[in-house]
Amino acid sequence: MAIERTLSIIKPDGVQKNLIGDVYRRFEQAGLKIIAARMLHLTTAQAEAFYAVHRERPFYKDLVRYMTTGPVIAQVLEGENAIETHRKIMGATDPKKADPGTIRRDLAASIEENVVHGSDAVETARQEISFFFAQADVCPRTR
Ligand code: ATP
Ligand code: MG
């Protein structure tokens, strides 16, 4: 297994419900290290660009609206097999289908308002990290 980096977002519903600490605790307990973090309120243009891959999907407009309703926290997670580990901790997109103990099953309200985002592959992780962070904003752990 390789050391990977992945992009995580706590979405507006997660921030609103004061779940930042709960979500971070799950990352840290799984051995994932936060090596960059930033709070921002996405503009419509930013949300459209971030989710451009879904632009033909019926839920795209609502997704963009939801992602701009409040601030989000974006972070870079690093660790062994980080992309898959992170996706496992998040659980399935639809909280009703997510395994017990996952973030979405435990904390999410619906398939849309599902608290977190996580990159799904090495190439998308690289692109999504650079969407939010300059290289100088990423802090590799020196201890
Ligand atoms: P994410 O990309 O946010 O990590 P995901 O990879 O599990 O989630 P995607 O299929 O990439 O799921 O969908 C992106 C986001 O769009 C979902 O997290 C959810 O917020 C929203 N979404 C996905 N499917 C639906 C749907 N059928 N109805 C409403 N919203 C949806
Ligand atoms: Mg996705």
* Helix H or strand E segment including 71: none
93 CA distance to ligand 2 middle (Å): 8
Q: What is the mean pLDDT of each run of 10 residues along the chain (143 residues)?
A: 95 98 98 98 98 98 98 98 98 98 98 98 98 97 95
Give residue 114's pLDDT.
Answer: 98
Look at strands 72-80 and 116-118 and give their pairing: unpaired
142 CA distance to ligand 2 middle (Å): 31
Give residue 1's pLDDT.
Answer: 77
Give residue 37's pLDDT.
Answer: 98
Per-residue pLDDT tens digits for 23-64: 999 999 999 999 999 999 999 999 999 999 999 999 999 999
Cα–Cα nearest to 12, from 67, 60, 62, 51? 67
Which residues does ligand 1 sit against, CB inside 6 Å?
54, 59, 63, 93, 111-112, 114, 117-118, 120
DSSP code per residue over 76-138: EEEEETHHHHHHHHH--SSGGGSPTTSHHHHH--SSSS-SEEE--SHHHHHHHHHHH--GGG-
